[in-house]
C-alpha cells in the first residue's frame, strides 16, 4: 500500500483517486478552502481528509504522510500547487498530470526538485475513468514506472511515454491542440454564421455535405459551457508550446479567446 496525496479532487482527480483507493492505496486530500461539492466528490471516491496539525495546517500533514503526490488541477494552478508542496518539504515522488507545456513542466520540476522531491511528468487523455479502456495516463521521467505500477488493475491505463523527460506533457499538449483547438474552430464558425444571419442555411448545408458537423458543434458547445474556463489556460500553454517549436501561435491564442467568451 502506498500513501498518495491528491491535489485536488475535481471531477478528474476524484475519479483517479477512486481508482487508486480501489487498488488498495490510501489517498489523502486537503479540504482547506474547498467547497461542499469537492468534499462530496472526495467522500464518494473514498478519499481520506488529511488530519490537521497544529495550527491546523492540513497540507503539511498531507505532505508528511504521502509517498507520492499527484497534482490534477487547472493548468493555471499547476505552478502554485508545486510551489506549495515544495515549500512544505516534500521529498517523495511528485507527479504533475496537468495540461501544461513542456516549458511549464520544466518549471514545475525545478520547484519540486529544489524541495528534494523526484519529478514525474504526466498527461491524461480521455474522460474521468469509470471503466477500463477510455482513460490513459502517460508518464515520463525518472520514477515514471513506479507511478505507473500504482494503477495496475484499475480503470486508468497508465503507460510510459517514449521520448525525453517531458514527453508526457508534450504528448498531451499535442493531442489537445487538435481536439480542443478544432472544438474552438467549429464554435467560431457557427458564431460567424449566426452573426451574419446564415446559421440555419449553414446547418442545412452541413446536413447535406458534412453530416457529422452539426452534432460535433453541439458537443463542442456543451463542453465549452461546462469546462471552457479550464481550457483558456490550456490553449495558452499550447500556444507557448507552438512558439517554442517555431510554429504559429495564432490558432490557439484565438481558441483561448473563444473559450474565454460566454457560450453564445
Quote the distance between the C-alpha of residue 153 and its chain's center. Answer: 22
Tens of pLDDT, residues 144-199: 999 999 999 999 999 999 999 999 999 999 999 999 999 999 999 999 999 999 99
Tens of pLDDT, residues 85-127: 999 999 999 999 999 999 999 999 999 999 999 999 999 999 9
Helices (H), 131-212: 144-150, 167-195, 199-209
Question: What is the per-residue pLDDT for 264?
Answer: 65
Q: What domains, with CATH codes, occur in the chain?
A: 3-165 (3.40.50.720), 170-260 (1.10.1040)
Computed on alpha carbons and rounded to an integer, the radius of gyration of the chain in Å comes to: 20
Question: What is the per-residue pLDDT for 53?
Answer: 72
pTM: 0.94
Spatial distance between the Cα atoms of 78 and 62, rounded to a whole number of angstroms: 17
Angle, helices 250-260/213-244, rounded to nearest 10 degrees: 130
Amino acid at each position: 500500500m502506498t500513501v498518495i496525496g491528491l491535489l485536488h479532487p475535481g471531477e478528474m482527480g476524484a475519479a483517479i483517486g477512486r481508482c487508486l483507493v480501489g487498488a488498495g492505496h490510501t489517498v489523502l486530500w486537503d479540504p482547506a478552502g474547498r467547497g461542499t461539492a469537492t468534499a462530496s466528490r472526495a467522500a464518494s471516491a473514498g478519499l481520506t481528509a488529511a488530519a490537521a496539525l497544529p495550527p491546523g495546517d492540513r497540507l503539511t500533514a498531507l505532505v508528511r504522510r504521502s509517498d507520492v503526490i499527484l497534482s490534477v488541477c487547472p493548468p493555471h494552478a499547476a505552478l502554485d500547487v508545486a510551489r506549495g508542496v515544495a515549500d512544505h518539504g516534500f521529498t517523495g515522488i511528485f507527479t504533475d498530470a496537468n495540461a501544461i507545456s513542456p516549458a511549464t513542466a520544466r518549471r514545475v520540476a525545478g520547484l519540486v526538485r529544489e524541495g528534494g522531491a523526484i519529478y514525474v511528468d504526466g498527461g491524461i487523455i480521455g474522460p474521468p475513468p469509470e471503466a477500463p479502456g477510455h482513460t490513459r495516463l502517460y508518464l515520463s521521467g525518472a520514477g515514471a514506472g513506479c507511478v505507473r505500477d500504482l494503477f495496475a488493475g484499475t480503470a486508468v491505463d497508465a503507460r510510459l511515454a517514449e521520448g525525453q523527460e517531458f514527453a508526457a506533457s508534450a504528448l498531451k499538449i499535442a493531442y489537445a491542440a487538435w481536439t480542443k483547438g478544432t472544438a474552438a474552430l467549429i464554435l467560431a464558425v457557427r458564431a460567424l454564421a449566426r452573426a451574419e444571419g446564415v446559421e440555419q442555411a449553414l446547418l442545412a448545408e452541413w446536413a447535406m455535405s458534412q453530416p457529422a458537423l452539426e452534432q460535433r458543434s453541439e458537443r463542442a458547445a456543451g463542453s465549452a459551457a461546462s469546462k471552457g474556463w479550464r481550457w483558456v489556460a490550456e490553449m495558452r500553454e499550447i500556444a507557448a508550446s507552438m512558439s517554442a517549436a517555431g510554429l504559429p501561435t495564432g490558432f490557439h491564442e484565438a481558441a483561448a479567446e473563444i473559450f474565454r467568451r460566454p457560450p453564445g
